[in-house]
């Protein structure tokens, strides 16, 4: 098997462009997507999950990003019923535009190597399906983050193992986030390509594992290793927040593309 499979070799030149576009739209659609997720969760569970979700996101983003959970919470709760409906639709459109870039990249990777293309109007419609998939995945993560403190308090009251509440609070939420991201990526790799170019489930599982591992590795390096282990801050000045988030997203988006390339390579 060659180092770069024939199915991927002719597409390599366009992959940095897709990674950059995905990172840019990720930066633009991050807050609208959080608004969609938290309002959907509020409608289904009658609970505001924005504080837990944004706090977790702040933990995995670079410190320079300076994400403020209270600002997102106020955006979710702000406005009356009519304004809330309009702003939710606008947030859904913006978030689906960001996911459309993800759909373009995945479609391109799995397309025919003799005539690679990022898809057309059907792929644009599928980005709305991606919005549902990722809303459910991130919403489930937020619900899980709410349940962890409740379980920790219950375990502490029972007087079980002394370390168990700590494990529930710190060591489980990251594997849970990894598992939900892993599941969403599998569905993404299976849903977006045209039927004749869809990978086998086994190949999609391998690619999703590579992509989810790359995202979690990116989070570890930018949120923990650089500032806490090496004491390095990559960005300074008034644009440091946007630049740090953009570079973080660019590295993570490369992971999604590499995962798609892996799935496309092992499938043939």
Taking only the tens place, the pLDDT of each residue in 144-190 is 776 665 655 555 555 544 544 444 455 677 888 899 999 999 999 99
User: The pTM is what?
Assistant: 0.81
**For residue range 77-100, what is the model confidence (pLDDT) as tens digits?**
655 444 456 667 777 888 888 889
What is the predicted pLDDT for the residue at 175?
Answer: 84
Mean pLDDT (whole number) for 93-108? 88
Average pLDDT on 231-247 reads: 69
User: In this predicted structure, what is the pLDDT of residue 263?
Assistant: 93
pLDDT at 203 over 70: yes
Structure-model confidence comparison of residues 81 and 254, the more confident one = 254
Percent of the chain at pLDDT above 70? 72
pLDDT value for 255: 94
Q: Which residue has the higher pLDDT, 112 or 240?
A: 112
**Average pLDDT of the chain, as a whole number:** 78
Q: What is the pLDDT of residue 104?
A: 92
pLDDT bracket for residue 36 (50, 70, 90) = confident
Binned at pLDDT 50, 70 and 90, residue 25 comes out as: confident
Whole-angstrom distance, CA of residue 257 vs CA of residue 189: 10
How many CB atoms lie under 10 A from the CB of residue 171? 10
End-to-end Cα distance, the chain? 11
What does the domain layout of the chain look like in residue ranges? Answer: 6-267
């Amino acid at each position: 098997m060659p180092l770069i499979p024939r199915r991927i070799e002719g597409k390599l030149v366009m992959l940095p462009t897709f990674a950059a576009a995905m990172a840019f739209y990720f930066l633009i659609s991050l807050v609208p997507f959080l608004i969609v997720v938290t309002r959907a969760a509020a409608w289904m569970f009658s609970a505001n999950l924005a504080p837990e979700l944004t706090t977790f996101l702040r933990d995995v983003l670079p410190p320079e990003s300076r994400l403020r959970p209270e600002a997102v919470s106020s955006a979710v709760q702000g406005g009356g019923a009519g304004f809330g409906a309009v702003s939710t639709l606008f947030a859904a459109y913006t978030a689906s535009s960001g996911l459309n870039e993800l759909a373009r990249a995945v479609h391109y990777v799995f397309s025919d190597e003799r005539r690679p293309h990022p898809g057309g109007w059907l792929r644009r419609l599928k980005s709305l399906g991606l919005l549902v998939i990722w809303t459910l995945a991130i919403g489930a993560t937020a619900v899980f983050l709410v349940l962890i403190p409740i379980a920790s308090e219950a375990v502490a009251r029972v007087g079980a193992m002394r370390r168990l509440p700590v494990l529930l609070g710190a060591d489980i939420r990251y594997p849970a986030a990894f598992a939900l991201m892993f599941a969403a990526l599998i569905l993404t790799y299976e849903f977006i390509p045209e039927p004749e170019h869809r990978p086998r489930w086994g190949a999609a599982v391998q690619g999703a594992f590579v992509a989810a591992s790359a995202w979690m590795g990116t989070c570890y390096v930018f949120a923990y290793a650089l500032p806490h282990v090496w004491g390095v801050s990559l960005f300074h000045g008034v644009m440091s927040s946007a630049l740090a988030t953009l570079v973080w997203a660019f590295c993570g988006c490369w992971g999604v593309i590499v995962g798609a390339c892996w799935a496309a390579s092992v499938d043939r």
